[in-house]
């Protein structure tokens, strides 16, 4: 690999290395090499001003000394910006979605290229500016790679067709999809409200124990993907699908054994009517963004929002994933006597 190197005598090498690192010029993906009484440091560009008692040359050096452990090792931003690089990112099939602070906007393309190089099998990288609007769609800005946002994502042994441009999907819910599915008992009726592309429904359908499985979402693109996924997985006959708002669905819905209500910011307004529809012995899985300071009390407070509160107990409150520095997405399970 051809690169610029800064060459220093061995007695100056440590101080030169420190200066190059502080200025964000040192290439971490290539190893410094020693020859005789000199050390050559691979750099991204020539130091300005140049360093005393060093010289710079372009030369061929051996490739990566070891695979990068994080995508951040592939980047050499000025130190104050390097420190802002997020540790986490989402992998959705062949897509990599990353949330960046606004200060990193000038480096967004470089960051995209580093993620594309780092994540095995990545085809396209997008800047994820969070979910918005009723359909909870992600703001996506292409950073690197090519092709459509539509991709095949694997979780819990199932392959889902997802398209974050038109329908919500989060790989951070994989454990929830499996956990809730495992609790469905034989012969139960189940509603998956705000089902998106249907990961809860499809995971439950694969088990084949529910007597009736009904999935509802207001976004037609999400419902279209759910239908396509159900066909691909061979479970379409086990699922009823409704493309409508809960405002229309709930008043005429009848009775059910288990409900999944995953609309973390607004689901609260449907909780009374959802709980009224649940039969004795039934269960509600309710998702919410909860401030960290309220974790311990929130389950009991929510029971007060359910229809006939004295018949309900909060049997579980679990943290699903962090939402912000102060709040988490939480899963609450309520059981009706």
Ligand X SMILES: C[S@@+](CC[C@H](N)C(=O)[O-])C[C@H]1O[C@@H](n2cnc3c(N)ncnc32)[C@H](O)[C@@H]1O
Residue in 218, 229, 122, 237 with CA at minimum distance from that of residue 177: 229
CB closer to ligand X, 217 vs 257: 217
Residue 188: how many CB atoms within 10 A of its CB?
20
Burial pattern 218-252, b for ≥16 Cβ within 10 A else e, equals bbebbbbbbbebbeebebeebbebbbeebeebbee
Site string for ligand X, 147-176 (x = CB under 6 A): ---------------------xxx--x---
CB closer to ligand X, 195 vs 284: 195
CB closer to ligand X, 68 vs 135: 135
Q: Closest approach of Cβ 296 to ligand X, in Å?
A: 24
CA gap 67, 65 in Å, rounded? 7
Site string for ligand X, 227-256 (x = CB under 6 A): ------------------xxx---------
For residue 139, give the H/E element and its range: strand 137-145
* First vs last C-alpha separation in the chain: 69
CB closer to ligand X, 52 vs 244: 244
Q: Closest approach of Cβ 273 to ligand X, in Å?
A: 12
Q: What share of the chain is helix, strand, coil (3-state, %, to 5)?
A: 30, 35, 35
Residue nearest to ligand X (CB): 196
Q: Closest approach of Cβ 146 to ligand X, in Å?
A: 26
Determine if 263 is a binding residue for ligand X (CB under 6 A).
yes
CA gap 300, 292 in Å, rounded? 15
Q: Between the CA of residue 326 and those of 65, 103, 208, 303, what are the distances in Å?
A: 40, 21, 39, 23
CB closer to ligand X, 163 vs 217: 217
Q: Closest approach of Cβ 329 to ligand X, in Å?
A: 9
Q: Closest approach of Cβ 305 to ligand X, in Å?
A: 17
**Count of positions on this chain that bind ligand X (CB under 6 A):** 22
CB closer to ligand X, 27 vs 138: 138
Residue 261's SS3 state is: strand
What DSSP assignment string belongs to 60-129? E--S-SS--SSGGGG----HHHHTTS-S--EEETTEEEE---GGGGGGHHHHHHHHHHHSTT--EEEEEE
Site string for ligand X, 114-153 (x = CB under 6 A): --------------------xxx-----------------
Crossing angle of helices 199-207 and 174-183, rounded to 10°:
40
CA gap 27, 66 in Å, rounded? 13
Site for ligand X in 175-234 (CB under 6 A): 194-196, 199-200, 216-219, 222
Q: Closest approach of Cβ 29 to ligand X, in Å?
A: 36
CB closer to ligand X, 173 vs 233: 173
CB closer to ligand X, 14 vs 247: 247
Q: Name the site residues for ligand X (rule: CB under 6 A).
A: 134-136, 168-170, 173, 194-196, 199-200, 216-219, 222, 245-247, 262-263
């Amino acid at each position: 690999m051809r690169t610029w190197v800064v060459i220093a005598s061995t007695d100056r090498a440590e101080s030169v290395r420190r200066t190059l690192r502080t200025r964000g010029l040192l290439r971490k993906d290539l190893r410094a090499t020693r020859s005789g009484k000199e050390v050559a440091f691979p750099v991204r560009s020539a130091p300005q001003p140049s360093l005393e008692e060093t010289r710079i040359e372009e030369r061929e050096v051996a490739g990566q000394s070891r695979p990068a452990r994080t995508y951040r090792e592939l980047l050499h931003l000025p130190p104050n910006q390097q420190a802002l690089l997020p540790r986490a990112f989402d992998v959705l099939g062949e897509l990599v979605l990353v949330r960046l602070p606004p200060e990193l906007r000038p480096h967004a393309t470089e960051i995209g290229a580093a993620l594309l190089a780092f994540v095995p099998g990545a085809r396209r990288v997008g800047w994820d500016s969070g979910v918005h609007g009723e359909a909870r769609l992600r703001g996506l800005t292409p950073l690197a790679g090519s092709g459509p946002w539509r991709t095949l994502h694997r979780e819990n042994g199932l392959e889902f067709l997802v398209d974050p441009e038109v329908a919500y999907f989060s790989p951070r819910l994989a454990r929830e999809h499996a956990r809730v599915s495992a609790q469905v008992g034989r012969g139960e009726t189940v509603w998956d409200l705000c089902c998106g592309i249907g990961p809860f429904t499809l995971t439950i359908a694969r088990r084949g124990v529910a007597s009736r499985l009904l999935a509802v979402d207001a976004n037609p693109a999400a419902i279209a993907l759910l239908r396509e996924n159900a066909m691909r997985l061979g479970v379409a006959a086990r699922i009823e699908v409704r493309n409508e708002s809960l405002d229309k669905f709930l008043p005429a819905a009848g009775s059910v054994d288990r409900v999944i209500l995953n609309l973390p910011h607004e689901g609260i307004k449907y909780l009374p009517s959802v709980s009224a529809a649940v039969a004795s012995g039934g269960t509600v899985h309710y998702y919410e963004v909860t401030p960290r300071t309220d974790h311990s009390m929130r389950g009991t407070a929510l029971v007060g929002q359910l229809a006939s509160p004295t018949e309900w107990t909060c049997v579980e409150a679990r943290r699903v994933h962090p939402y912000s520095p102060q709040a988490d997405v939480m899963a609450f399970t309520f059981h009706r006597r």
